[in-house]
Structure 1
Amino acid sequence: MWFCRSVDEVLKEFKVDPATGLTLTEAQTRLEKYGSNKLKGQKKKSVLQLFVQQLNDWLIFVLFAAVIITIFMGEYIDAVIILVVIILNAVLGVVQEVKAGNAIEALQKIATPKALVRRDGIVKEIDSEEVVPGDILVLETGRYIAADLRLIETVNLQVEESALTGESVPSSKHAEQVCTDEQTPLGDRTNSAFMSTLVTYGRGVGVAVGTGMQTEVGKIADILQTGEAKTPLEIRLDELGKTIAKLAIGICVVIFGVAMLQGRDLAEMFLLSVSLAVASIPEGLAAIVAIVLSIGVTNMSRHNAIIRRLPAVETLGSVNIICSDKTGTLTQNKMTVQKYFTLAGEVTIDKEDQVNPTETGQLLAKAMILCSDATYHNGEGTGDPTEIALLVLGDDLGIDRHELHENNSRVGEFAFDSDRKLMSTLVEEDGNYTVYTKGAIDNLLKIATHVLHEGQVMPMTEVHKSQFLDATERMSDKALRTLGIAYKPVAAVVPAEEMEKDLVLIGLVGMIDPPRLEVKTSVEKAKKAGITAVMITGDHKTTAFAIAHELGIADTIDQAITGQELEELSKEELDRHVNNYRVFARVSPEHKVQIVRALKDHGNIVSMTGDGVNDAPSLNTADIGVAMGITGTDVAKGASDMILTDDNFATIVTAIEQGRNIYNNIKKAVIFLLTCNLGEVVAMVVTLLIGWEAPLIATQLLWINLMTDSLPAVALGMDPGDPDVMKEKPRDPKESFFAGGAGGRAVFGGILIGALTIFAFWYGYYEHGYSPFDKNVPLETLQNARTMAFLTLVACQLYYALAMRSPIKSIFQVGVFSNLYLIASIALGLILQLLLVSIPFTQKAFRLNMPDRNGWITVVLLGLVPLIVNELYKLILRARQKG
């Protein structure tokens, strides 16, 4: 048991040097030997299991009953056709499920947590799945632990292990401890850390002793498996489908009753009623929504937005406030120190001309380096961008960081806290101990009692404070972020709470993170879409406003407020004025929650960005929590609905645009399905109620259901995004799915398609000199009429799919060939229809005739009517909008 062995024994066992870690070659060898560091997921269903699952539906069971009845009736061809339709429907369902499953699997791969490992002497960030036994892992606050570890170094390390141990408070860890009992409970193994637990405080280093299923959490992996929950949209559509199903069954019962009263063939009418139920119930809704969501979300991941929870896609279309952090999201996240200030004066850092720092300047840079958890090698860094910039400052001032770290060892620390806004380290050098503290200059001025001036330590005076505050203000006015540094010599190791007392203030640095070039355009785009951008940052008010003003977020300084000013407002005052502010500066995580709640109380749908441990509450509170993929902690990512892989504000706006388009595509597919199904019901019900023969037989209904419920609907769901979607206002989350005239269009379209089908049926009689009311009509005439109805109904539905692409733009504005999937599905449908009436076998099987020239002209013209009517209606709408 690793927890019963000393650090040296464990390192020897795994053949690893903690200073350099494994080599890349050795890591790859071990990865091949031990496998990926991940828990085994639920066993994927085979294609056969998925196929059987598609058949496990009561409607399918009724169809199987219909097959048996048709066999007893001697209608063997009908029985075969029904079976073929059942199988084809099941195959399409399997294809859709496999596609959706693959898309979700790809997303899970993209969202794999990261781990900091030391390999070849360099600390780097890798996917946690690549961690192998023997890897040296670096632990920091806010990061989930990627494997089971034997700790080899700990500094005030605390780990949240409640998922494994049930302990409600974090466990303190001590690397030097060795357990003597191999039965030591998990909660008492203070020299170990476990996969999936969370570092809540301090830092540490450990060697991986177990990965994947060989971890403690791997032992209970079976009970951790959870199914994917349905989205609110899917639930709503499920309910809609059930309602329509009840109505359809009711209609079919009525039709069967009418048929009995009319003395029709009951076996034939039973088959027809069942087929109409199958055709009118949109059983393809759930599958289409799932595949459109999964494909859409996969496309979003290619644009740097990973959706962790599918309901977020629906919510994205309603977002009207984006609360964004400044650093890295609105800016480039490439912090660069431009100036530093000590009482000797202000110095500008010039990359071209190396600065010769004073003794105080050198101490300032040395202190900043030793009070940092970041790494920077060969132009690549890990850790906070601010800390990386401080390491680069040391390089610019000619400090040998490698030698500095060799001569100084950290023996204690007081980790950064968002309330204190400070971080302290206790460093030993040649037997001497020194505390270095960096953080917000106003907080340092409260606890520093002395200053360093011309190499001399002297008591702090009000004049000194004014000099530092003036320097801070000058830098802030130039949009520079300031950070102060102080120190004090101590006689021996002191506890954390004693570090930040009686400090000697050295100076401060001013750094800038320039705005991202693309953000200004995105802010403007968001404004046109009815979305307000709000900056929430820990920076000074003047610094934050300078960036916000440059990006077009804020116009005047009156639109900015600090956390301190926020605390002076009552809840009622904040609620009254919160919509007027565009910049919230010097705020704490508690303030963020307060701001989000106030904005939501006004009925806003709020998106909130965050990257730190303490951002989790505000991410949870927001309607859409957005975590940073690069700088974000695992805690922030775990609390979020969406992760930005590029930490870019512009990506949020792009995600909202894509979210709107995905929702619109789903809506198009659903309205199209309902319109087509209604058309079939109208045609069948009206003709039967007035005493005509059924315009379509069971096998024809099932064929139409297969054609229109799958390919064109899915193709509509894959429509390219509308470039003008961001000119619309955010969608009301309570808005009905049939709002904006969609319900009316579905009803009108269904009635129109049904009426045209009835007309085509009548025309089929008329061509042969008969009327549908006539008795003893020749079979050939009836088949001709049904052929006309069948071909017209399919043509109407296929062409109508083109009109469904936009509720207001013409097909030419949208681009006839801009959705090749839809064009292909329509072409395939038309070709299959042509083959059906051309091939003698299928002619006989579906009881069709080859129409004459006039018949084909009638089918084509009638098929185009719904498309033309819809285009004329859109023309009127566009004219009204211009008027």
Structure 2
Amino acid sequence: MEVPNQFKGLNNTEVEKSRIKHGDNSIEGHKKSSGLALLLNILKEPMLLLLFAISAIYLLIGEYGEALFMLAAIVAVSAISFYQDSRSKKALEALEKLNEPLSSVIRNGKVVQIPTNEIVIGDLCLTEEGKYLNADGRIVYSTDFSVNESSVTGESLSVYKGIGDKVYGGTITVSGIAVFEVEEIGIGTKIGKIGSSLLAIEKEDSPLQQQIRKFVKTMAVVGLVIFLLVCAVHYYNNRNLLESLLNGLTLAMSILPEEIPVAFTTFMALGSWKLMKEGIIVKQSSVVETLGSTTVICTDKTGTITENIMQLKYLYEYASDKTYETFGDTVTSELISYAMWSSEPVPFDPMEKTLHEVYSSMSKKDLRGKFSLIYEYPLEGKPPMMTHIYKNVEDSRRIIAAKGAPEAILRVSTLSEEEKEKVRKWIRDFGSEGYRVLGVAKSHFEGEEFPEKQQSLPFVFLGLVVFYDPPKKGIQDVFKQIYDAGIKVKVITGDNADTAKSISMQAGILDADRAIDGKDLMTYSGSELLGKVKENVLFSRMYPEAKLKIVKALKEEGEVVAMVGDGVNDAPALKASDIGVAMGNKGTEIAKSAASIVLTNDDLNKLIIGIASGRRIYSNIKKAVQYIISIHIPIILTVSIPLFLGWIFPQIFTPVHVIFLELVMGPTCSIVYENEPIEKNAMLQGPRKMTDTFLNGRELSISIIQGLVITCGLLFMYQYTVQNGGSEEKTRAMVFSTLIFSNVLLSLTNRSFYYSVIESFRNKNMLLLAVNSLTLIILFMILFIPAMSNFFKVDSLAINEIGFSVITASLSVLWFEGYKWIKRTKANNAKVFKGKGKIIDRG
């Protein structure tokens, strides 16, 4: 980009002074946590505090090997947590840098590229065609410069600007070049004030996060009570305070389900990372879970449902009352010419580009080089219209051309009411076919003082230009998947109802004839508004305020709303929705900032992928939680029952055994289950309610029963070994081995609570195989390597003893396969079909 030499811009000292005085060019600051802060947060985790306490006790009683093992466990757990947290932090920071736009500024007499947040007041910013303006300022130099200010004003057509005119951040340069001096940055800009108002709408933790936090706190309280009880019982029996504390801490460690919040964090972070690889940028990882609960998708039409390529389909010439599909006829040349003249000289809008192209192809003599724009009425009015006035540089002839919404052009024309009604019939007919219609008119004015309002000019109605923006290929399949998943669709558009209805029906939107206009919607409130929003599918001629009103009404009805938008005026609705979805290509920066998800290629199908991912993650985290509950119950009871009942070996498990189990269970629930593929029926079910608990009574009962049956197997193995003369080490080895085998089998059978374990093997999960294989390898090392056997205080087992442990574990766990078989049989026999003949499985 070339600019005059007189512009030197700020020097480094002036930049620093301005930054100190006025701050950075950012709307919302993000506090970045340091590595030390991450580590300190990790070290505050209850499980690590317990491990520290146990290590200290082992040191006090002289058990240095156990103390060293506990310290090694602390290091391992901390390292894994720190790695996961720091990786998430680095990924988010890299994503921020990736999304941050660059700006061209003049500093020290040179044009340099800098991150947008480094712009300061007083900078000279350069912009050219296709570039975003990233601050407010005043033009000091321009050449044929025009901007599209729809992101700020809502008007879609471009506006010419000259020296001294104000420009705004968030707008886009349509033509020419300009240098502007920055006057406002960050929240001081026009777009920033809209953005800062969004900050008042706070995002709360998702219900699942709240439920998990409540569950963990409850278990922590239970653990504290049992810890005190165990300490008291043990101290009453042997009067040894340190051993009593050690036994109590062992049980407390077995009760505390610290894997659950770790699993939730891991699921959300890895889910976000996987979606980013799909072209779906998730700005808040917890939103992934909310995605799976989406009940309503509010989408615009142009560019989301349609291709956003405006094909000129028909011309209707009023003088002959005829419609033309080919545009070479001389009778249509005036209509095309005036439609082109009313467009921007350097077109940005797809419709205007098409008009220029058609004019070029059919005109024998291109007059664009002979006429210059001398006056412009911008797009305004409800419905809107715009007017351009050109002057011939040679003979001073004028061209006054207008186009806009047909209703607006008819209103200012000289036609009689009867003649207007004839045209309105054509408009309705075109609209019913899904076409976008513009009215075109010409005028004549001799004076130099043009009227203040374009509507004051005398206009001759010329006709209609009719465009077709076809639905995207495959969009019908996208909406079919949405409906199959039990999700409702609302279409919110600025188009008229006829056009929007036709396109919506072509795209596969159900009940698109249930429509309401924006101005009518705004007249309703309270229960009437809720009723209108609930019953209508198509919302036409919508204003920004109406969009927000729809989102709020849907949320008030208990819906989980995904709002798709791309403009600044969409930002409040995006922020207020449960899931704001911005378009990566055509979306404004403020829309992306307000949204929680950005679709990089503007493909609505990506949203379906996100919803499927959300459902997969929610299902898998539920499996992980149920697994944790089921496996913790036998650990808790096997530690406590021998003590409370005074059995011969009251301390069958020590902290060493429990921490080994914790190290096995941690990756199993947080990594293995996260890697589970989506079950084949997941997108054929209705969305779950956000108010539902993550485990209902039936699901919790199943997990408790699973845990109690495994406990019975372990206690049976305990008593069987003791009754057959087994030592404490032999008994511990048999019980410990049975618990490990049960854990492996439980992780397999709980992959699905509906499909069989054999069918689940079709869903490949190499991490499951790896973790379970490693667990078994370590178990056999503990049993057969003397040093490890001595450390874990177990005896080696014979082949028949291992076989007996496997059989006991199998009976304790695989009974659940019978339960699932009964469940599937009932579902198949019931033949409950919904929708398009699909069995709705809630399993």
Q: Identify the TM-score tier after normalising by the shorter chain.
A: 0.7 to 0.9
Distance 1:13 1:527, change over 3 A: closer
Name the structure 2 match of 1:549. 505
1:780-830 deviation digits (Å, cap 9, x = unpaired): x10111122222222212321122222212223333552222222212222
Q: In the alignment, what sits opposite 2:432?
A: 477
Name the residue aligned to 1:727: 684
Distance in 1 between the 2:403 and 2:114 partners?
A: 29
Which of 604, 619, 631 is the equivalent residue of 1:664? 619
> Offset at 1:257?
0.8
CA distance in 1, matches of 2:579, 2:30: 27
1:679 is aligned, of 618, 624, 634, to 634
- Deviation of 1:709 after TM superposition, in Å, equals 1.8
The letter for the 2-side match of 1:681 is: I
User: 1:327 Cα shift?
Assistant: 1.7
Letter paired with 2:269: S
CA–CA distance in structure 2, aligned partners of residues 406 and 310 of structure 1: 57
Q: Deviations over 1:608-638 (max 9, x none)?
A: 3223333334334433333333333333333
Tell me how far 1:50 sits from its aligned partner: 4.3
**Aligned partner of residue 484 in structure 1, secondary structure:** strand
2:399 counterpart of 1:440: no
Given that residues 252 and 273 in structure 1 are in contact (C-alpha distance below 8 angstroms), is that contact kept between their aligned partners in structure 2? Answer: yes
1:669 to partner: Cα distance: 2.1
AA aligned to 2:510 is A
Query: Distance in 2 between the 1:695 and 1:82 partners?
Result: 18
Answer yes or no: is 1:307 the counterpart of 2:282: yes
Aligned residue number for residue 708 of structure 2: 751
- Do 2:547 and 2:573's aligned partners in 1 also have CA atoms closer than 8 Å? yes
User: Which moves more between the two structures, 423-432 or 99-108?
Assistant: 423-432
Instruction: Report matched runs for 1:197-236 at 5 Å.
Output: 197-199=169-171, 206-207=178-179, 231-236=206-211
C-alpha contact (below 8 Å) 2:533/2:550 kept by paired residues: yes
Alignment of 1:49-60 (within 5 A): 50-51=38-39, 53-57=41-45, 59-60=47-48
Q: Please tell me whether the aligned partners of residues 687 and 758 of structure 1 are also in contact (alpha carbons under 8 angstroms).
A: no
Aligned to 1:873: 819
How far 1:293 sits from its partner (Å)?
A: 0.7
- What is the alpha-carbon distance in structure 1 between the residues aligned to residue 621 and residue 545 of structure 2? 38
Corresponding position: 1:257 with 2:213 = no
* Equivalent of 1:809 in 746, 755, 758: 755
In 2, distance between residues paired with 1:505 and 1:371? 22
Q: Which shows bigger deviation, 687-696 or 361-370? A: 361-370
Superposed, 1:33-432 pairs within 5 Å as 45-46=34-35, 50-51=38-39, 53-57=41-45, 59-105=47-93, 107-109=95-97, 111-112=99-100, 136-138=126-128, 145=134, 152-153=141-142, 176-177=163-164, 197-199=169-171, 206-207=178-179, 231-263=206-238, 265-345=240-320, 346=322, 348-349=324-325, 358-370=332-344, 374=348, 384-398=349-363, 404=368, 407-409=371-373, 412-415=376-379, 419-425=382-388, 430=393
What SS does structure 1 have at the residue aligned with 2:343?
A: helix
Which residue does the alignment assign to 2:699?
742
Give secondary structure in 1 for the equivalent of 2:691: coil
What is the TM-score normalised by the length of structure 2?
Answer: 0.81
Per the TM alignment, residue 724 of structure 1 is displaced from its structure 2 partner at its CA by 1.4
Q: Which amino acid aligns with 1:303?
A: E
Corresponding residue number in structure 2 for 1:788: 734
Alpha-carbon distance, 1:248 to partner: 0.9
- In structure 1, stretches of 5+ residues that fail to align are 1-6, 15-35, 118-124, 162-171, 178-189, 375-383, 450-458, 771-780
- Return the match for 1:589 from 515, 536, 544: 544
Contact 1:355 1:396 (8 Å CA) reproduced: no
Cα pair distance change 1:319/1:228, threshold 3 Å: closer
Task: Check conservation: 1:131, 1:147, Cα contact below 8 A.
Answer: no
Deviation at 1:146, TM superposition (A): 6.3
Alignment of 1:475-624 (within 5 A): 475-488=430-443, 491-492=447-448, 494=450, 497-498=453-454, 501-554=457-510, 557=513, 559-563=514-518, 566=521, 572-624=527-579
Task: Tell me if the contact between 2:714 and 2:739 (Cα under 8 Å) persists in the aligned partners.
Answer: yes
| Partners of 1:578 and 1:598 within 8 A in 2 | yes
Q: 1:115 to 1:747 in 2, by over 3 A?
A: farther
- Give unmatched runs, 5+ long, in structure 2: 11-23, 106-112, 153-158, 830-843
Helix, strand or coil: the match of 1:626?
strand
Partner amino acid, structure 2, of 1:444: I
Cα pair 1:155 1:412 within 8 Å, conserved: no
Cα displacement string for residues 825-850 of structure 1 (whole angstroms, at most 9, x for unaligned residues): 21222222222223222222222222
1:238: how far off? Answer: 2.5
CA distance in 2, matches of 1:40, 1:278: 39
TM-score (norm 1): 0.78
Contact 1:563–1:588 under 8 Å retained in 2: yes
CA distance in 2, matches of 1:569, 1:214: 36
SS at match of 1:339: strand
Displacement after TM superposition at 1:595 (Å): 3.7
Matches of 1:410 and 1:722 in 2, distance apart?
64
Label 1:556 to 1:365 Cα distance change in 2 as closer, same or farther (>3 A): closer
For residues 216-269 of structure 1, the C-alpha deviation after alignment (integer angstroms, 9 at most, x for no partner) is 99xx9xxx9x99986553343223222211211211111111111222754233
8 Å CA contact 2:306, 2:472 repeated in 1: yes
| Equivalences for residues 706-717 of structure 1 within 5 A | 706-717=663-674
> What is the alpha-carbon distance in structure 2 between the residues aligned to residue 231 and residue 575 of structure 1?
24
Please list the CA deviations of residues 118-148 of structure 1 after superposition, one character each: whole Å capped at 9, or x if unmatched. xxxxxxx99969999987325999x661698
Q: What is the distance in 2 between the residues matched to 1:311 and 1:500?
A: 55
Q: Secondary structure at the match of 1:851?
A: coil
Is residue 746 of structure 2 the alignment partner of residue 800 of structure 1? yes
The aligned amino acid for 1:408 is S
**503 and 629 in structure 1: CA distance in 2 versus 1, 3 angstrom threshold:** farther
Query: Residue 748 of structure 1 aligns to which amino acid in structure 2?
Result: I
- For the residues of structure 2 that align with 1:690 and 1:399, how far apart are their CA atoms? 104
Partners of 1:621 and 1:56 in 2: CA distance: 34
Work out the CA distance in 1 between the residues paired with 2:365 and 2:461: 23
Structure 2 contact 310–354 (Cα < 8 Å) conserved:
yes
- Are 2:784 and 1:838 aligned? yes
Q: CA deviation at 1:365?
A: 3.9
Q: CA RMSD of the aligned region, Å?
A: 4.4
Please state how far the C-alpha of 1:73 moved relative to its aligned partner: 2.1
Checking the alignment, whether the CA contact within 8 Å between 1:761 and 1:789 is kept in structure 2 is yes
Alpha-carbon separation, structure 2, partners of 1:678 and 1:400:
87
Paired AA for residue 368 in structure 2:
L
Q: Tell me, yes or no, if the aligned pair for 1:324 and 1:649 is still in contact at 8 Å.
A: no
Distance 2:133 2:507 in 1: 35
Q: After superposition, what is the alpha-carbon deviation per residue over 1:446-491, rounded to whole angstroms, capped at 9, x for unaligned?
A: 2x23xxxxxxxxx433354234323322322322111223344554
- The answer as to whether partners of 1:422 and 1:439 remain within 8 angstroms in 2 is yes
Contact kept? 2:230, 2:247, Cα under 8 Å? no
Contact 1:367 1:485 in 2 (8 A): no
- 1-structure distance, mates of 2:562, 2:248: 49
Count of aligned positions: 783
- Report the Cα distance in structure 2 between the residues aligned to 1:676 and 1:399, rounded to whole angstroms: 83
1:497-540 Cα shifts (integer Å, max 9, x gaps):
45675444333211112122322222222222222223222323
Give the Cα separation in 1 of the matches to 2:553 and 2:29: 43
